[in-house]
Amino acid sequence: MKTQTYYLNLGPQHPSTHGVFRIILELDGETVVKATPVPGYLHRGIEKLAEARTYTQVIPYTDRMDYLAAMLMNWGYVKAVEDLMGVEVPERAEYIRVIVGELSRIASHMIATGAYGADIGALTAFTYTFRDREYVLDLLEMVSGSRMTFSYFRVGGVAEDLPEEFYPAVKKFLAELPGMCDEYDGLITGNEIFQARTKHVGIIPPEVGINYSLSGPTLRGSGVNYDLRKVRPYSVYDRFDFDVPLGKNGDCFDRFRIRIEEMRQSGRIIQQALEQMPDGPIQAKVPKVIKPPVGDAYAEIESSKGVYGCYVVSDGSPKPYRVHFRRPSFINLGYLGKLCEGWKIADVVAILGSIDIVLGEVDC
């Protein structure tokens, strides 16, 4: 019998591509022969737009990249500008950055966890993680006045000090966080069907992960111990005691499970940061108009999706000459096409979900 492959256009409008992402699948029945990812449907030209803004005006644009962990997006950019100017950030500001950054990471991982459940077909998981994410958003709203696009970081510090009501609220949240993670484990991770769907599916071997420059939970799921907060500590991360959860098989299940573990570790970091936090200024002395000296700087942080880098070139004017972002979501997608080959249509959704992309960041 003569059989024929056919093409299926998965996206850009599709319930499970996490936004406007497109994959052209060449299928043999339900089995993927070839997968061609096509990003770019949400491209807004943030890097180019940044060239026409002052250094401070670029910060809100970074919010719109990974809008699920916008604090971390702010952080990478201001860190690059600070490195360029040689500004010393006050210690209290660094602690505040760690606290809001880790809260943002928790919010992002909650979405990743819930949305992955929905990708596999368990819609209920989604509502539980979203319910808990509300706590985090409330906390961040107290701090910054905004729920998703915070623009809270400033070159040399943060916009405002933490409000008084933040401390009891965050303590209450931290007390509940382990219980929330246990609930996700019970609801999703422990489910037999969920494990059947994700274990040994979409395996990324460690050396392949390194060669493709993957990072974040996607890389650590393969067992590569690479977390910038540990291997190259920035800010005040060297003062905290936390573990880096690692996977064993590099399959979808490991990548998913790591995120829940990371939420617990983030909770530990926030706890320690609250205990250690000194008093003092929250903003370094920087000129009103930020004019870095001629030169360039590259700064990296560990965002919720992986290594997020920002490269800033200054020509001495109040506007950056060039800004480039290394977006982990985009780079993690590099191996997607190869990864999907030989799996079923349903697995493509599972694999894409396990990489946890945000289209705002992929297309920038």
Partner 1 sequence: MVENIFVSIAAWLRGLLGGLGVPDLWNDVILMVVKLLAILVFILVNALWLVYMERKVAGYIQSRLGPIHVGPKGLLQTAADIGKLLGKEIILPKNIDLVVFLLMPVLIFVPPLVIFAVIPFGKDMVAVDMNIGVFYLIAVASLSTIIFWAAGWSSNNKYSLVGGMRSVAQMVSYELPLVLALLGVIMITGTLNMNEIVNAQKNVWFIFTQPIAFLVYFIAGVSETNRTPFDLVEGESEIIAGPYTEYAGMGFAMFFLAEYANVMIVSAMCTIMFLGGWLAPFGLDFVPSWLWFFLKMYLMIFIFMWIRWTYPRIRVDQLMAFGWKVLVPLSLANIFVTGAGMYIFRAIGW
Does 117 bind partner 1 (CB under 8 A)? Our answer is yes
**Using CB under 8 A, which of the segments 44-52, 114-122, 292-300, 314-322 binds partner 1?**
114-122
Render the burial of 189-217: b for 16+ CB within 10 Å, e for the rest: bebeebeebbeebbbbebeebeebebbbb
Q: Report CA-CA distances (Å) from 199 to 71, 195, 209.
A: 32, 5, 18
Does 8 bind partner 1 (CB under 8 A)? Our answer is yes
Residues 18, 22, 25, 30, Cα dihedral to 10°: 30
Extract the tokens encoding 69.
């962990």
Does 191 bind partner 1 (CB under 8 A)? Our answer is yes
Query: Which of 181, 331 has the CB closer to partner 1?
Result: 181
Which of 44, 48, 131, 248 is in the footprint of partner 1 by CB under 8 A? 131
Q: Taking Cα atoms as reference points, which of 188, 133, 178 lies closest to residue 350?
A: 188
What are the strands, taking DSSP E only, across the chain?
6-10, 22-28, 31-38, 153-154, 157-158, 295-302, 307-314, 322-326
Does 190 bind partner 1 (CB under 8 A)? Our answer is no
How far apart CA 80 and CA 77 sit, in angstroms, is 5
How far apart CA 168 and CA 146 sit, in angstroms, is 19
Does 123 bind partner 1 (CB under 8 A)? Our answer is yes
Query: Which of 16, 56 has the CB closer to partner 1?
Result: 16
Does 196 bind partner 1 (CB under 8 A)? Our answer is yes
Task: Report 22-81 residues binding partner 1 (CB under 8 A).
Answer: 30
Query: Which of 28, 207 has the CB closer to partner 1?
Result: 28
**Using CB under 8 A, which of the segments 241-249, 267-275, 304-312, 344-352 binds partner 1?**
344-352
**Contacts with partner 1, residue ranges (CB under 8 A):** 6, 8, 14-16, 30, 117-124, 127-128, 131, 188, 191, 193-194, 196-197, 344-347, 349
